[in-house]
Structure 1
């Protein structure tokens, strides 16, 4: 082949055709990389989507999400679908999501939701086996549905590394932890096996004081009397129901619990007890900070 043929310019017609083909492909590629339009009525799925860098179109009970889950924060652009058990289907239809994500707890809504958009169910606490591997599997499943599989691996790696780093910051903790959320002034959810809190304790190298039975969500609903005689550090996770704080101040039962009597109580800001990886990381951060402060206080009180 002669040098002249190698350097022959492209004809104007071919150049125009190539440019037109390139312009046609660019929008398609941009569209392929755009995040899907997803809606969910489940807070754990919403939290995970945000952790993957995807803002959902809509979430149910956004104000309650902000009270119970807290972080990651929902942007103001996220529409409120109303009650989780009775979402606003008309609003959801107007938003025209490409897919609706639910958890098994809301399976009864699937037939109605599927008339608006395809529905995908992602379970976490309904799965058999240890919670932590299930949590990782659910994160990957949500990421696949959102078209962000690599984001799941980053989120998993970051969360596990952060919790491992927090474990190294903890002083020796002599007593096991008793983790509760108040339902009213006399009843608490106490968290044990198969709970998010227990899974985090395991990764922080801490012991759980509650060895009693738990449900599929990892907690048992008990009266305060069930906590009597347990020698532990009590961890109270907010929010407290209205009136509970004042009622506890007048409660002899509360004041005579071993951890309360010995001032071994720490209170944490709200962390979604049925959450995903970001809730796990946030619980680890809040707990580690509270335990470090409590241990320093105990040392200061020692003669």
Structure 2
């Protein structure tokens, strides 16, 4: 969401506080820094610039649409433009609904999804109910299927064999990046071959999404899903 010209977040180059350049921060034309609690320990780098924390994350065991709209409204108050925040929420919901419609036209049978990201060929993160995938899929009238309760970051570690617990109607979404080496090892895995993803079971790949990007991440995820290429199972 945009804001006043003088108001800005720390830019992408400064997201890792250990590598932050204090001189560069001092030169940025800002009158406020909006961070989250992960970066509060780096506030001494901001000098006299005031800082506020806004966090986009689940407040309970299941992430809700309100967990993303309420912090957006907080941002609107902080930049003295509540209407901009409300307009952004309305437009974001419209964008997600449009993406949902486009997806349903392409894959009307695909209604249940499990979302994973591979660490290596046998270990992965499964994103669960307290991640942004829950409200995004819910807004798209689709179901997130999970295997367990998530940690504070919205995922549960699983192994490839655990995917056998998913039913045949659940489509597996793999979040990139996936290195060529890991991809080759997955393809060569006997477990993967027996699971049948890409043949008897549905699978697709999605571009990376910033887990803590707020409403913009929900919209990006919905748009990515509207463009995804699914294969296998009975989705076609």
Please give the TM-score of this superposition, normalised by the length of structure 1: 0.66
Residue deviations 1:249-303 (CA, integer Å, cap 9, x gap): 2222222224355251111122223322122112112213336x6599854xxxx
Residues 154-193 of structure 1 aligned to structure 2 (within 5 Å) = 154-169=87-102, 170=104, 171-173=107-109, 176-193=112-129
Once the two structures are TM-superposed, the CA of residue 164 in structure 1 deviates from its matched residue by 2.3
Find the aligned partners of 2:79 and 2:216 in 1 and give their Cα distance.
17
**Structure 2 match to 1:72:** none
**Structure 1 match to 2:45:** 113
**Structure 2 match to 1:195:** 131
Find the aligned partners of 1:133 and 1:168 in 2 and give their Cα distance.
22
Among 115, 118, 122, the residue aligned to 2:54: 122
Residue deviations 1:35-75 (CA, integer Å, cap 9, x gap): 224232xxxxxxxxxxxxxxxxxx1xx3xxxxxxxxxxxxx
Q: Does 1:35 align with 2:28?
A: no
CA RMSD of aligned residues (A): 2.8
**Structure 2 match to 1:268:** 206
Residue deviations 1:92-146 (CA, integer Å, cap 9, x gap): 1132531112111222223x13534111111222634743202111112122222
Structure 1 residues 296, 284: closer, same or farther in 2, change over 3 A? farther
Please give the TM-score of this superposition, normalised by the length of structure 2: 0.83
Once the two structures are TM-superposed, the CA of residue 209 in structure 1 deviates from its matched residue by 1.9
Paired residues of 1:230 and 1:258 also in contact (CA < 8 A): no
Residue deviations 1:156-197 (CA, integer Å, cap 9, x gap): 001112222333441533552111112222221111112111
Find the aligned partners of 1:239 and 1:278 in 2 and give their Cα distance.
20
Find the aligned partners of 2:165 and 2:58 in 1 and give their Cα distance.
32
Q: How many residues matched?
A: 228
Q: Does 1:146 align with 2:116?
A: no
Larger radius of gyration between Structure 1 and Structure 2 = 1
Structure 1 residues 223, 165: closer, same or farther in 2, change over 3 A? same
Residue deviations 1:199-222 (CA, integer Å, cap 9, x gap): 111111112221411112221122
Among 39, 60, 70, the residue aligned to 1:137: 70
Paired residues of 1:38 and 1:100 also in contact (CA < 8 A): yes
Structure 1 residues 148, 241: closer, same or farther in 2, change over 3 A? farther
Structure 1 residues 143, 243: closer, same or farther in 2, change over 3 A? farther
Bigger mean CA offset, 128-137 vs 201-210: 128-137
Name the structure where helix makes up a greater proportion of residues. Answer: 1
Task: Name the SS of the counterpart of 2:99 in structure 1.
Answer: helix
